[in-house]
């Protein structure tokens, strides 16, 4: 009974919030209740960040406690880096109101974090290169069309394409403007209708995925 | 079938991926050793972004620069973001920086560093302000449009917004001339839905190359007044503002990598068709 009641309260809150947000959109900036709700949503999102951090630390503490094979040394490393980062950031904020002014915090972000982030991002280029070689085969007419369009668009994005032949950027831009833009527009419109349907289902309590339930169960 | 039994054409269609990694690695070093410069044509979306800023922004107008990309996307987004910042300062705009990415502090510092010559004559709080991080979600963006003060009581350094001269009469989307959103994800969608549609605030996108196709319908329909796509967009903006920099240099690597991909695809298909005929 308590579980059912708890679920119904969640659905009721969802329905009320949905109706308020829906109406407010057409009378934008005139309804304080909607603004208040959005401020709450932002505060809850901020709290969830803290909650996520606590949860992360507790999961890794369990790994360390149970000496989980192949994992626990990394969990110790995560704890160490987490504590160093948060303490140095807080020290910077408390002393100067700017976490970045703490030399250790600044160093952690500027050198290890930035370099590793950019390296990981750049590595995808190598995978894409090898994947293009293995996947782009003209096995049928559809694949051949995709391949030709892809090559024109690739060469349009690089200035060398225009140097090889002046027509390449013209054709590539045509594919971008008249080939992919209408197709993408279709996806966006269909997705918008899907969102509307999702909204109505949530409003009626039939969409239960956000509560960890599958609809109809 | 062992490697020795394969014909030349079959081998051509089955080159080991590590060979490609080495080819790309060596190829990408060439433009850094010897720069390869080709003329860069300006795409319509970048030109509209540049001209939109020049036409719309009057001295004293307040503009939002939304940082929704992390440090990993600096190579793609930062050149265009920095070029737009320089252009806005040239036009006399007052800039509010804020961001939806947890490492936004780093990116803001990097923008200041790259536009150092421009910022040295500006005064913090009067000509630009940094409000910091807001959680990555649409409700926050919607609420920023309704009231900036309900999300940010102070700037990133703890100064109340009412004590910051340039923020005195600024609180809603209607007080903002335009929004430029630097993105790797879908944050620009939030600005389209929560700023552009309800309030009419002009929005433009500075995104990674992958987002070019996602936002093209919005640009083509006039919802976005301009769009810079990837490092190419950055190079085009650098050309438009007359200050070739990082993106212009990086176009050499773009040329090499893109032509290598096309050559690899052609080789794969020659090998594929020749081995099928056999």
Give me the interface pTM, i.e. the ipTM: 0.85
Beta bridge partners of residue B67, listed in sequence order: B99, B182
B260–A38 C-beta distance less than 8 A: no
CA distance A132 to chain B (A): 7
Beta bridge partners of residue B133, listed in sequence order: B99
Q: What is the DSSP string of B68-89?
A: E--GGGHHHHHHHHHHHHHHHH
Token pair in block for residue B142 = 């919607």
Confidence grade of residue A209 (pLDDT, cut at 50, 70, 90): confident
Burial status of residue A214 (CB atoms within 10 A of its CB: 0-12, 13-18, 19 or more): exposed
Within chain B, where are the H helices?
Answer: 8-13, 17-33, 44-56, 74-90, 104-114, 116-119, 138-146, 148-151, 187-191, 197-199, 211-220, 230-241, 246-277
Q: Please give the average per-residue pLDDT across B238-246, as a whole number.
A: 95
Residue-wise pLDDT for B126-177, tens only, equals 999 999 999 868 999 999 999 999 999 999 999 999 999 999 999 999 999 9
Query: Which of A13-22, A79-88, B101-110 has the least mean pLDDT?
Result: A13-22
**pLDDT greater than 70 at residue B45:** yes
d(CA B72, CA B8): 41
B41–A162 C-beta distance less than 8 A: yes
Mean model confidence pLDDT for chain A:
88
Taking a C-beta distance cutoff of 8 angstroms, is the pair B42, B236 a contact?
Answer: yes
Q: Please give the average per-residue pLDDT across A99-121, as a whole number.
A: 91
Q: Among residues 51-70 of chain B, which lie with CB inside 8 Å of chain A?
A: 70
Over pLDDT 70: what percentage of chain A? 93
Q: Which residue has the tokens 């109706």?
A: A19
Q: Please give the average per-residue pLDDT across B104-110, as a whole number.
A: 94
Residue-wise pLDDT for A46-75, tens only, equals 899 999 999 999 999 999 999 999 999 999
Confidence grade of residue B257 (pLDDT, cut at 50, 70, 90): very high
Confidence grade of residue B1 (pLDDT, cut at 50, 70, 90): low
Chain A residues touching residue B147 (CB < 8 angstroms): 35
Residue closest to B62 by CA, chosen among B218, B157, B202: B202
CA distance B6 to chain A (A): 17
Query: Which of A22-36, A93-107, B216-230 has the least mean pLDDT?
Result: A22-36
User: Residue A217: its pLDDT value, please?
Assistant: 47
Question: Measured between alpha carbons, how far apart are the two ends of chain B, in Å?
Answer: 15
CA distance B274 to chain A (A): 12
A25–B261 C-beta distance less than 8 A: no
Residue of A nearest to B136 (CA): A45
Residue-wise pLDDT for A145-179, tens only, equals 999 999 999 999 999 999 999 999 999 999 988 88
Taking a C-beta distance cutoff of 8 angstroms, is the pair B271, B12 a contact?
Answer: yes
Q: Compare CB distances from B217 to A45, A134, A184 and report the shortest one's residue.
A: A184
Taking a C-beta distance cutoff of 8 angstroms, is the pair B277, B7 a contact?
Answer: no
Taking a C-beta distance cutoff of 8 angstroms, is the pair B28, B261 a contact?
Answer: no
Cβ count near A152 (within 10 Å): 23
CA distance A54 to chain B (A): 17
Q: Please give the average per-residue pLDDT across B210-237, as a whole number.
A: 94
**pLDDT greater than 70 at residue B278:** no
Check if B199 contacts A (Cβ < 8 Å): yes
User: Residue A29: its pLDDT value, please?
Assistant: 65
The better pLDDT of the pair A198, A78 is held by: A78
Strand B94-99 relative to strand B203-207, pairing: unpaired
Residue closest to B102 by CA, chosen among B75, B78, B135, B79: B135
């Amino acid at each position: 009974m308590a579980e059912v009641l708890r679920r119904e309260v969640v659905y009721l809150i969802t329905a009320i919030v949905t109706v308020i947000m829906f109406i407010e959109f057409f009378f934008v900036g005139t309804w304080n209740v909607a603004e208040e709700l959005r401020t709450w949503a932002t505060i809850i999102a901020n709290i969830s960040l803290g909650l996520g951090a606590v949860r992360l630390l507790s999961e890794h503490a369990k790994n360390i406690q149970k000496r989980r094979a192949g994992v626990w040394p990394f969990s110790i490393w995560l704890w160490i880096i987490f504590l160093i980062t948060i303490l140095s950031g807080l020290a910077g904020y408390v002393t100067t109101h700017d976490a970045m002014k703490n030399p250790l915090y600044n160093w952690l972000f500027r050198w290890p974090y930035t370099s590793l982030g950019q390296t990981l991002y750049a590595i995808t280029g190598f995978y894409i290169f090898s994947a293009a070689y293995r996947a782009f085969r003209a096995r049928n007419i559809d694949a051949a069309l995709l391949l030709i369009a892809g090559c024109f668009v690739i060469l349009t994005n690089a200035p060398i394409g225009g140097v090889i032949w002046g027509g390449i950027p013209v054709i590539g831009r045509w594919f971008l403007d008249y080939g992919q833009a209408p197709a993408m527009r279709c996806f966006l419109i269909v997705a918008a209708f899907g969102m509307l349907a999702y909204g109505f289902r949530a409003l009626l309590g039939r969409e239960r995925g956000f509560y960890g339930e599958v609809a109809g169960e | 079938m062992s490697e020795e039994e394969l014909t030349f054409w079959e081998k051509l269609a089955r080159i080991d991926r590590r060979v490609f990694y080495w080819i790309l690695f060596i190829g990408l070093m060439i433009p850094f050793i010897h720069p390869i410069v080709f003329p860069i044509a300006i795409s319509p979306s970048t030109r509209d972004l540049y001209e939109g800023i020049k036409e719309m922004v009057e001295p004293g107008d307040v503009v939002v620069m939304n940082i929704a990309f992390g440090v990993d996307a600096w190579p793609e987004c930062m050149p265009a973001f920095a070029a737009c910042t320089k252009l806005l300062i040239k036009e006399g705009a007052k800039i509010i920086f804020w961001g939806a990415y947890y490492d936004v502090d780093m990116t803001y510092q990097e923008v200041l560093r790259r536009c150092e010559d421009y910022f040295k004559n500006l005064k913090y709080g009067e000509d630009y302000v940094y409000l910091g991080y807001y959680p990555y979600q649409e409700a926050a963006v919607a609420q920023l449009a309704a009231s900036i003060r309900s999300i940010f009581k102070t700037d990133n350094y703890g100064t109340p917004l009412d004590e910051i001269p340039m923020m005195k009469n600024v609180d809603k989307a209607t007080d903002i001339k335009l929004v430029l959103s630097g993105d790797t994800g879908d944050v620009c969608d939030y600005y389209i839905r929560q700023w552009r549609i309800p309030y009419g605030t002009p929005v433009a996108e500075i995104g990674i190359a992958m987002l070019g196709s996602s936002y093209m319908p919005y640009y083509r329909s006039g919802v976005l007044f301009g769009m810079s796509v990837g490092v190419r967009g950055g190079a085009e903006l650098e050309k438009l503002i007359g200050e070739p920099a990082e993106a212009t240099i990086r176009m050499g690597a773009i040329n090499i990598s893109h032509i290598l991909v096309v050559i690899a695809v052609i080789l794969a298909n020659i090998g594929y068709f020749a081995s099928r005929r056999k």
